Amino acid sequence: MGFMDSVKGFAEKVGDKVESGVKSVSDNSKKMAERSKIKREIAMLEGEVNNAYLAIGKKFVELNSENPGEDYAENVELIKSKSERAEKFKELLASLDDNQTCTGCGAVISKEQKFCDKCGTKVELKEVPIIEGYNDAPVQTEEPAEVVDVDANPDEVTVPAGSFCEKCGAPLAEGQNFCEKCGAKVE
């Protein structure tokens, strides 16, 4: 056996090892792909099961919200109160963009619209909702506001720094005669 035969034998062994390694990597890749496919299928099925549970729970609350039974009363009340609070936050969020929610269908509509473009309900301008624990706390100032003598010259009321609108609580700039937020006359 010559040198060339030894090199050829070695090359065949290396080729067999490489082929075996490639086959192993290919098999592992196939297994990983199959695992991923199975995991996706499991997640999809579990998601569908959870959605069915949610649908059953939602239907139960809708049908039994007035008399849910002792075992469910606490959770039904929690759902009702959290849903109401979430609706108020949706209204507050819409108001930041000069929008509001339609009283007929709940769609977000512009405050400038006269009728909802989704359901046709007449739009009635809503006030910004007060949400307990969020925007209901009165604004505190470090110093009490100055007392202004409005009888001195009623046309030249000077708003002291740190004042707030009596109607809506918005901050007022010095010398402001009307609130920029609600339009109330500064007194």
Host H or E run for residue 99: strand 99-101
Angstrom distance (rounded) from CA 34 to CA 183: 66
Identify the residue whose tokens are 């035969």. 5
The residue type found at 177 is N
Per-residue pLDDT band for 70 (boundaries 50, 70, 90) equals: very high
Phi, psi of 30 (to 5 degrees): -60, -40
Q: What is the DSSP letter of 131?
A: -
Match 């086959």 to its residue by tokens: 23
> Contact, 148 vs 161, CB < 8 A?
no
In this predicted structure, the answer to whether residue 41 has a pLDDT above a threshold of 90 is: yes
- pLDDT classification of 179: cutoffs 50, 70, 90: confident
Taking all residues of the chain, what is their mean pLDDT, rounded to a whole number? 81
% of the chain residues with pLDDT over 90: 27
Helix (H) or strand (E) holding 44: helix 3-64
Beta bridge partners of 110: 99
Q: Is the model more confident about 159 or about 170?
A: 170
CB 24 within 8 A of CB 31: no
Nearest-Å Rg of the Cα atoms of the chain is: 35
Tokens of 136: 């209901």
Q: Count the alpha carbons within 13 Å of 43 in the hemisphere toward its beta carbon.
A: 6
Rounded to the nearest 5 percent, the helix, strand and coil shares of the chain are: 45, 5, 50
